[in-house]
């Protein structure tokens, strides 16, 4: 049980049928403490700890990483939401 635990999580949050309010969220945790987050509405990485601030500064300086993260709403969230929503609607 000794050791370290690090993980990342991606979420797509929306409440409208046309996905117009969709937000892509990305968070990274170390030993259950979130240290870094990305929110597509904010459009940048935000560090919540010293480690997170250091990583946020590095990631926010890279235009390619920021562009890819911002695009996740259209490339990751919407296509997957459409697939899962249509599967649920077809069963109703």
pLDDT < 50 positions in the chain:
none
Largest CA distance in the chain: 48
- pLDDT for 90 equals 67
- pLDDT for 65 equals 96
Q: CATH number, domain at 48?
A: 3.10.320.10
Residue 20, in any domain of the structure: yes
- pLDDT for 85 equals 83
> Can you give the residue range of the structural domain that contains 16?
6-89
Number of domains in the chain: 1
Q: What is this structure's pTM? A: 0.86
Q: What is the DSSP secondary-structure string of the chain?
A: --S--EEEEEEEE--STT-TT-EEEEEEEETTEEEEEEETTTTEEEESSHHHHHHHHHHHT-HHHHHHHHHHIIIIIHHHHHHHHHHHHHH-
């Amino acid at each position: 049980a000794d050791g370290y635990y690090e993980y990342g999580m991606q979420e797509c949050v929306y409440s409208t049928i046309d996905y117009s309010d969709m937000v892509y969220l990305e968070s990274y945790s170390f030993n259950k403490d979130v240290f870094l987050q990305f929110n597509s509405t904010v459009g940048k990485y935000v560090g919540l700890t010293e480690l997170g601030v250091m990583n946020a500064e590095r990631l926010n300086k890279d235009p390619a990483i920021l562009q890819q993260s911002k695009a996740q709403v259209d490339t990751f969230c919407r296509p997957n939401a459409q697939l899962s929503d249509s599967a649920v609607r077809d069963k109703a």
